[in-house]
Structure 1
Amino acid sequence: MVQLLKLAYVECRNSGRQCVNQLDITRAYRATAYTASAGEVEELMLLALSSLKKHKLKDLHCPFDLSAAMKTNVVNFTRADRQERVNATVFHS
């Protein structure tokens, strides 16, 4: 997250601004310098949405069982966030 914000700040300053906005964060997320981390972020989202344990990055999987309430909360948050991003993408395209 710190790396993403750092890259977003660089994007912001390159645009001649002093405040980071959503576009800067999006550009930073898609930047070559953030490619490896973006893959891990996407893998974590897949882990949260899926009950399958077969994922590429085993080090991102928590070895401890979580309570059902905690799992439901994480899944609901992730699904709502994804739906919000899909809606925003459709609206802006």
Structure 2
Amino acid sequence: MLIFSVFKTLTDQEVTVELKNDLCIKGTLKSVDQFLNIRLDAIQVLDEARHPHMMAVKNCFIRGSVVRYVQLPTSAVDTQLLEDATRREAMNQNKR
């Protein structure tokens, strides 16, 4: 899975995750699995006024099904790897 591979290369990078309930969390990506469940360390909640209960939380595990989107650091994304993987995946789809 292409997306899983991309996330695996971004461990120890700072990412921002927006959840379907509008909670935005910025933190260091520590792990991701094949279901795109995410573990973040050293988290910060971006809208502290709306989510004051999250101020004491330092680490979290986010279930992949509740993630709306993930902002990745552009400097950490290997665009050549993405382009090559996308081409290979497209070629495999055309062979079927």
Q: Shorter-normalised TM-score: what interval?
A: 0.3 to 0.5
TM-score (norm 2): 0.32
| Higher RCO (CA-CA < 8 Å; seq separation 6+) | 2
- Structure number having the greater strand percentage: 2
- Structure number having the greater helix percentage: 1
